[in-house]
Amino acid sequence: MAIFNYFDKKEMGSLVGASLVLGFIFSFNNLTHSEVSVSLLIINWIRAFILSFIVYLIYLIANKNAAKLHGAKIQFKLWGMDRYWFNKGAKFSKLWFFGLKINSFKAGILVPLIVALFSNINFATTSYTEITEVVAQRAGKKFKHLTDLEISRIHLAGPLACLLLAIILTPLGSFNTLAEIAKMVALFSFVPFSKLDGAKILFGSLPLYVFGLGFTIASLLLINILPTAALIFWAFLTALIVFLLYLYRTN
C-alpha cells in the first residue's frame, strides 16, 4: 500500500509497540470485575491494538504532512528517557541492572502500564515524534531554519487530527472505542514533559499551546452535548477567550 511508503521498518516497529501498549492499558482499564479473564483480556487487547494503531497512524500522517509543508520530516519513536536527573552524569547508559547495561528508561512502555495497574487512567504517553529539518526543502521559506513556532505547529497537527477524528465519530455511535482512543491520544499529547510532543508544542509557542489545549479540553467536554458545528464553534470561542486572557495576564 502506498500509505506505508511513509514509514521505515524502525518507525513501523515503534508504531506497533506504541499501539500494543496503548491497546493493553485501554482494554485492561475497561474490564469490569465480573469480566476478568485472560481470554477476554487478550481478545479486547487485540481489538484495542488495531484501533490504537489506526489512531496513531492518523496522528503520524498529520504530523508528517505538517512537517513536509515546513520543509522537514518526522520520525515516530517510542518514548525513552536518557537521563534520570538533571546533572550531566545522570544518564541511564551508565547504569547496570543484574549485569545488563541500561541504555535508556523505556518510559513509553513502563509509565502507562504502571499508571494503568494502580489507577483507572489511560495514560496515553507512549511515544513522541522527532523533527529533522530538510535544508533543500526550506528553499523559498522566510527563514533558513525551522523556527520554534513552526516546530510547535508541526507537533500540534497530530493531536488536532485525533481530536477531529473523535468529533466526527462520536455522534455516529458505532465507533465508540475508536473515538475514545482518539480522545485519549489527543488529550495526553499535550503533556509537557521530557521528549513528548506536548513539551515541544509548549516550548515552541506557549500561546499556541494554550490555545490548542483550551480547544481540545473544551471540545472533549462538549462532545457529547452539542452537535458537531456548535461544538467546534463553542470550543473555538472558549479557546480564544482562554488565549486572550493569557495574553492579557502576560502583558
What's this model's pTM, rounded to 2 decimal places?
0.87
Q: Determine, yes or no, domain membership for 182.
A: yes
Distance (Å, whole) CA 180 – CA 174? 12
Comparing 102 with 173, the larger pLDDT belongs to 173
Give the β-pairing of 127-133 and 72-78: antiparallel
Q: Determine, yes or no, domain membership for 186.
A: yes
Comparing 6 with 158, the larger pLDDT belongs to 158
- Predicted confidence (pLDDT) at residue 90 exceeds the cutoff of 70: no
Q: Determine, yes or no, domain membership for 211.
A: no
Residue 118 is part of which domain span? 2-204
Average pLDDT of span 133-148 = 84
Confidence of residue 160 (pLDDT cuts 50, 70, 90): very high
Q: Determine, yes or no, domain membership for 141.
A: yes
Q: Determine, yes or no, domain membership for 59.
A: yes
Question: How many domains is the chain partitioned into structurally?
Answer: 1
What's the whole-number average pLDDT of the chain?
86
Q: Per the structure block, which three cell numbers stand in for 70? A: 515546513
**Strand boundaries in the chain, DSSP class E:** 72-78, 95-97, 100-102, 127-133
- Predicted confidence (pLDDT) at residue 92 exceeds the cutoff of 80: no
Q: Per the structure block, which three cell numbers stand in for 188? A: 495526553
∠ Cα 159 236 184 (to 5°): 30
Per-residue model confidence as pLDDT tens digits over 195-224 = 899 999 999 999 999 999 999 999 999 999
